[in-house]
Amino acid sequence: MRFVPQKTVAQQDIQTLHRIRELLVRDRTGKASQIRGLLAEYGIVIPCGIGNLKKTLPRILENAENGLTPFVRELFLDLNNQLLSLDSQVKEYDLRILAVFNASPICKRLAEVPGVGPLTATAMVAAVGNAASFKNGRQLAAWLGLTPRQHSSGQRIRLLGISKRGDRYLRTLLIHGARCVVTRSDGKDDPRSRWLNGVKARRGANRATVALANKNARILWALIRGQAEPNAA
């Protein structure tokens, strides 16, 4: 029987910081979707993305020829202020996480891995601690839901998609970071890029992204245990 190690107060503090930020990001996304949906009912369509909405909405409110009444302009102005407030809070928590990151040597070491930044590094340290609860990096990857599910019987072994079990937030950060590396690997000739480009050619970009996220999880485990170099291929 495996037991979950008790987290330190410092780990709990960092996890609380991440959870509050995650909730703020979710609220900001919901507010943006609400504004975009309400505007669409008036025939005004704004492309997806917080940046597009923040840039376009003030111009829409200033345009007197788009059919919006003064009453509804006040309502959209209020929604815009709410969106800006949420965006400001997210940025404030980003700065707090960055301060935790800058004060932690192990977090800085983890961030040397391509596809890993302050968010992922601090979240990993908060969730994993000293990594002693995992026998190896594969166990950590499995705990994060980055390993294939199996549906096997007799002599037939059938591997399905990733299990998606465990810490969804940390898994999402690893996959987002890996996707950035995968999209920039074209034309590069280092060992990691050659491997990624080969996986992309055989299995597609999505599988290459998950494969890199799995590899990064294993590297991060080894780094926390002090057994690897950040640029391990």
In sequence order, the 6+-apart residues with CB closer than 8 A to the CB of 225 are 130, 131, 132
Query: Where among 76, 102, 128 does a domain terminate?
Result: 102
What is each CA distance from 131 to 145, 181, 219, in whole angstroms? 16, 25, 12
Question: What is the pLDDT, as a whole number, of residue 108?
Answer: 95
Among the listed residues 82, 74, 71, the one whose alpha carbon sits nearest the alpha carbon of residue 30: 82
182-195: average pLDDT:
88
Residue 216 lies in a domain: yes
Give the model's pLDDT for residue 116. 95
Average pLDDT over residues 66-91: 95
Q: Are residues 82 and 148 in the same domain?
A: no
Same domain, 126 and 176: yes
Same domain membership, residue 89 and residue 193: no
Average of per-residue pLDDT across 188-212:
89
97 shares its domain with 121:
no
Residue 29 sits in the same domain as residue 68: yes
Strands (DSSP E) contained in 108-197 are 148-150, 159-162
Q: Which of 70, 87, 102 is the last residue of a domain?
A: 102
pLDDT on residue 229: 61
**Six-digit token pair at 156?**
């037939």
Question: How many domains is the chain partitioned into structurally?
Answer: 2
69 lies in the same domain as 178: no
Q: Is there a domain that residue 232 lies in?
A: no
Same domain (yes/no): 132, 219? yes
**Residue 157: which pLDDT band, with cuts at 50, 70 and 90?**
very low
Residue 229 lies in a domain: no
Beta bridge partners of 159: 150
Annotate 212-228 with DSSP letters as a single string: HHHHHHHHHHHHHTT-S
Q: Quote the pLDDT of residue 142.
A: 85
Q: Is residue 46 part of a domain?
A: yes
Q: Are residues 132 and 23 in the same domain?
A: no
Q: Which of 51-55, 114-118, 166-170 comes out lowest in average pLDDT?
A: 166-170
pLDDT surpassing 60 at residue 180: yes
Is the pLDDT score of 86 beyond 60?
yes
Is the pLDDT score of 160 beyond 50? Answer: no
Asked if 191 and 144 sit in the same domain, the reply is yes
- Residues of the domain holding 90: 9-102
Calculate mean pLDDT across residues 153-162: 49
Beta-bridge partner residues of 162: 148
pTM: 0.84
2 within some domain: no
User: Could you say which of 62, 80, 102 is where a domain stops?
Assistant: 102
Q: What b/e sequence results for 12-27 when a residue is b if at least 16 CB atoms lie within 10 Å of its CB, and e otherwise?
A: eebbebbeebeebbeb
Residues 60 and 127 in one domain: no
Q: Which two tokens stand for residue 42?
A: 């008036």
95 and 15 assigned to the same domain:
yes
